Structure 1
Amino acid sequence: MYRRPAEVLRRKLAREESEPRALAYLMGACGFMFVAQLPTVARQVSLSDPARWAAEPAAYNAALQPALGGALLATMIFWPLILYALAAVIHLLLRLARRRVTGYDVRLSLFWGLLSAVPLALLGGLTGGFVGSGVALTLVGVLWLMAVLWFVSTGVREAHRMAGEPK
């Protein structure tokens, strides 16, 4: 995907429409993004009250559980809803720009793009967990965002090209 995204997305878009497949891509991406958040969440909790955690190790686990639950809720419930809404907005904007791209093609491009950028999200999670906030984490975040935008825009462009081709 990182070497020839247009080719990969053309193959994905040429397949028969399958909303369960697109949802599986989205949920897979969200699952990996949850895993990517684990080191950062653990770091934030451990730095919040290190003296207490040293005195009461069980208290650390009691504080970590709600933080992990919040991250799980955000990535597995709220992010999919937000991303479906984002796909609808992108589709609406493309229709206003008179691009021949279906809603399914936009969703597939967005969800596959997120799944394809998971290695950078995992790197960001490790960076946030080991290094913390700073230039390195910002750089990895920018790389992740650029990869997602690159993959999504490539997918939308290929879907538009394929819509203009005779069948």
Structure 2
Amino acid sequence: MAVTTDITATYRGPRKVIARLLAMGPREDRLLAFLMGACVLMFIAQMPRLAREAHLNGQELNMLLGGALLGIVFIAPLGLYALAMISHLIVRAMGGQGDGYQSRLVLFWAFLAATPVLLLNGLVAGFIGTGPALNAVGGLWVMVFFWFWVSGLIEAYWGNT
């Protein structure tokens, strides 16, 4: 299936999509594509907020964009790989059966699948600014991300239990 089709299917049933992705076999190149795609979309989601900040504070937009690009596209993937390793160790300590590939797949897919809400968060931050609307959309993104991540970990490590 196309990635966009899988993303929309994840909102209906994240465990089914993770099971289908796991059945495709381990491919690190696919995981890296998921991760980098999600990071690029996260960078794009930050653009409206950064443009608003630059306009309101009289800062240089290119400097803000450069810093965000460095942090999100080049440094964040390293942190996400470390988070996947830590989650793998925790799930294994809880009795889960699997390897690190499954943990990476689930985390990176949850991050990618939750990017539509992250893009909405960026638009709210850019057009409305801080306030209850931004907090609500940010909270929604956190809930969606954790729903996808935990559901995926359950599917990947414990199967159909």
TM, length-normalised to structure 2: 0.90
Query: How many correspondences in the alignment?
Result: 152
Match of 1:66 among 43, 63, 67: 63
Q: Is contact 1:114-1:148 (8 Å) kept? A: yes
Q: In structure 1, how many angstroms separate the alpha carbons of the residues matched to 2:27 and 2:34?
A: 11
Please tell me the residue identity of whatever aligns with 2:132. V
Q: In structure 2, how many angstroms separate the alpha carbons of the residues matched to 1:104 and 1:9?
A: 12
Is the partner of 2:11 in helix, strand or coil? coil
Match of 1:15 among 24, 27, 31: 24
Equivalent position of 1:137 in the other structure? 134
- State the Cα deviation string for residues 33-63 of structure 1 (Å, max 9, x = none): 00000000000010003xxxxxxxxxx6xx1
Is the partner of 1:73 in helix, strand or coil? helix
Equivalent position of 2:49 in the other structure? 40
Is 2:75 aligned against 1:78?
A: yes
**Which runs of 5 or more residues in structure 1 are unaligned?**
50-59
Is 2:41 aligned against 1:29?
A: no
Question: Which entry has the higher C-alpha Rg, 1 or 2?
Answer: 1
**Which runs of 5 or more residues in structure 2 are unaligned?**
1-9
Deviation at 1:9, TM superposition (A): 1.1
Please tell me the residue identity of whatever aligns with 2:105. L
Q: In structure 2, how many angstroms separate the alpha carbons of the residues matched to 1:104 and 1:128?
A: 34
Q: In structure 2, how many angstroms separate the alpha carbons of the residues matched to 1:152 and 1:28?
A: 17
Q: What RMSD over aligned residues (CA atoms) do the two structures have, in Å?
A: 1.4
Equivalent position of 1:55 in the other structure? none
Is 2:97 aligned against 1:100?
A: yes
Is 2:125 aligned against 1:128?
A: yes
TM, length-normalised to structure 1: 0.87
Q: In structure 2, how many angstroms separate the alpha carbons of the residues matched to 1:159 and 1:9?
A: 7
The farther-off stretch of 141-150 and 96-105 is 96-105
Equivalent position of 2:12 in the other structure? 3
Q: Is contact 1:31-1:76 (8 Å) kept? A: yes
